[in-house]
Structure 1
């Protein structure tokens, strides 16, 4: 552990550097309130450098934080800053409008958080496992194409155009819809997922001479419901995080940000309400100079969700911590109200 003075110096250096982007010297620290001589401050900075918490730049006598320094600061020195009332109002106004489905709320949350910070925001909705299938329809567009419409009790609506396998006639669609409605509607999505691989194939054999292509069609229809829907706001803000990156690096980063599976792995489950990962802790070489602040929330009876910020390692942690903490609470309230309205509507 650091001494109180060393902790104060490290905290002030990080707060100053994350605000100005400039190396911090002893004069700046004295002006910030460190009441010892410049020689003593320089000696303390040297000790912090020897502990790999600071890095001396080649261009001046000032220091900048290392990744280890940020980690120590986050673990021991960070004090969240209360969110300004103006930003609170922006969040509540953006989440206060009418939404048709849950995914719209999740998507809006990523867009708003990104716009407030100029960073990249990630939003992952409540767990898919607790949803139930409430409606399934197939609407013919022509003799080969249909629109499949799938609805869950949590307000999720999926619709997509599919091409029918050649061995299926359009008049057989009613049979397929009836099978799904009889066997799967009202069941949890986990049950739906299981029955599509066990009971449904046997049932289809009773009605069709061959099920070739039908099972693949069903699987493609329902797979979207089992994908964890992660929404990203501010993808292009990645350009600002690494101004010296070449085209290959940026293309790799942008491809990563468009990969739902990779992004979902980035947002690891955690018992704490707020989690901060820095540099190598993110587990991806592309993100070694970045940090992630992840906020988790839970809604009784409806699972867990996540809202997160991905930005440069020199982000103002105190401010971003407070913002993510407030945002996860506001989002939780909005989603809880939405679910309550759904439950009230279904009872009536």
Structure 2
């Protein structure tokens, strides 16, 4: 790609700003009144033509106005963008919306998605901090009657998973107590990954050895463990996708809705599986914030979308992700400034939670 001149870059940045604000193609006469320097309309038209030839602008109407191409947005994001300062009012709103009593870390993660969606009117995605050192801290079974028990599993992250199960009438209360004792004696303190490994061999052997009937118990514990160890994605503001979809594009929107409901798809969408992610972050002018556009997605359904992703770190408790999904023409300067501040506030709230959790333990 031919690098634009300083003047062409200024024109490109202004076209991005105006198009994002109005949604209308930008013409030379409009630019004349907006640029910080005096340039004739003819010169602006020539520069716009050069930018179009370089693939950074395009026409989507028969008018003389231009709109940024995906390549134009990419150049703007990589070389021209300056994050905006968040207003005191927005900062106050974030602090107020986070000001709740939280009993689980996932409550904070879920609330972060809600706040971000409400602030931006876009769809937001959040993923809680993950750590290779997360361990099992306890397991309980509480009889509910009618052959039902509630299984409660806790981890060192402060997450608590509870699920109700039916059990066989052949399993006595004494066997349930022995099973819980075996789990806690042999697995508490182990990493969740090691617990999963033990569940495949050692634990079934012990349960069979010490219980009169181990029917279904391994499956029960395995199920609650699987849910506790699953990455919990939270999505807020799905309906905001309707704000910028064309009436003849509803089938595509339906497909996107279905994709967002699949946890297995979200790591790929957020580029969490990329081996080059750490290297990309270190090279990015925006640091832990990245933006994917249009054909940069692996899925053509998102060809007209942009995704702003911010990775945050909570020290020994691991790292997580927050993201905004919207049209390609999002106000990136404003949103990236917001994401930078929002990540900082989210990390503070999580440290408050972990400090309280450890103080109380």
> Structure 1-normalised TM-score?
0.94
Q: Which 5+ residue runs of structure 1 have no aligned equivalent?
A: none
SS at match of 2:145: coil
Matches within 5 A, 1:60-139: 60-139=63-142
**Distance of 2:346 and 2:23 partners within structure 1:** 32
Q: Hey, what does 1:180 align to over in structure 2?
A: 183
Superposed CA deviations along residues 246-291 of structure 1, whole A, max 9, x for unmatched, are: 4422221111111112112222243321111111222222211111
- Do the aligned residues in 1 keep the contact of 2:131 with 2:319 (CA within 8 Å)? no
Matches within 5 A, 1:1-348: 1-33=3-35, 34-165=37-168, 168-169=171-172, 171-208=174-211, 211-269=214-272, 270-271=277-278, 272=281, 273-346=288-361
- Do the aligned residues in 2 keep the contact of 1:114 with 1:234 (CA within 8 Å)? yes
Q: 1:282 to 1:141 in 2, by over 3 A?
A: same
Q: Which moved more, 1:138-147 or 1:249-258?
A: 138-147
**Distance of 2:173 and 2:300 partners within structure 1:** 50
- Do the aligned residues in 2 keep the contact of 1:291 with 1:313 (CA within 8 Å)? yes
Q: 1:298 to 1:245 in 2, by over 3 A?
A: farther
**Distance of 1:156 and 1:71 partners within structure 2:** 39
Q: 1:167 to 1:64 in 2, by over 3 A?
A: farther
- CA shift for structure 1 position 168: 3.6
**Distance of 2:184 and 2:55 partners within structure 1:** 62
Q: Which moved more, 1:129-138 or 1:83-92?
A: 129-138
SS at match of 2:316: coil
Superposed CA deviations along residues 117-168 of structure 1, whole A, max 9, x for unmatched, are: 0001111111053322222111122243211111122221111112225654
- Do the aligned residues in 1 keep the contact of 2:311 with 2:321 (CA within 8 Å)? yes
**Distance of 2:157 and 2:33 partners within structure 1:** 55
**Distance of 1:313 and 1:165 partners within structure 2:** 54
Q: 1:277 to 1:284 in 2, by over 3 A?
A: same
- Root-mean-square deviation (CA), in Å? 1.7
Q: How many residues align?
A: 346
**Distance of 2:48 and 2:124 partners within structure 1:** 34
**Distance of 1:142 and 1:41 partners within structure 2:** 78
Q: Which moved more, 1:143-152 or 1:95-104?
A: 143-152
Q: Which 5+ residue runs of structure 2 have no aligned equivalent?
A: 282-287
- Do the aligned residues in 1 keep the contact of 2:171 with 2:215 (CA within 8 Å)? no
Superposed CA deviations along residues 317-339 of structure 1, whole A, max 9, x for unmatched, are: 10011011111111111111211
**Distance of 2:298 and 2:326 partners within structure 1:** 15
- CA shift for structure 1 position 64: 0.6
> Structure 2-normalised TM-score?
0.91
- Do the aligned residues in 2 keep the contact of 1:128 with 1:225 (CA within 8 Å)? no
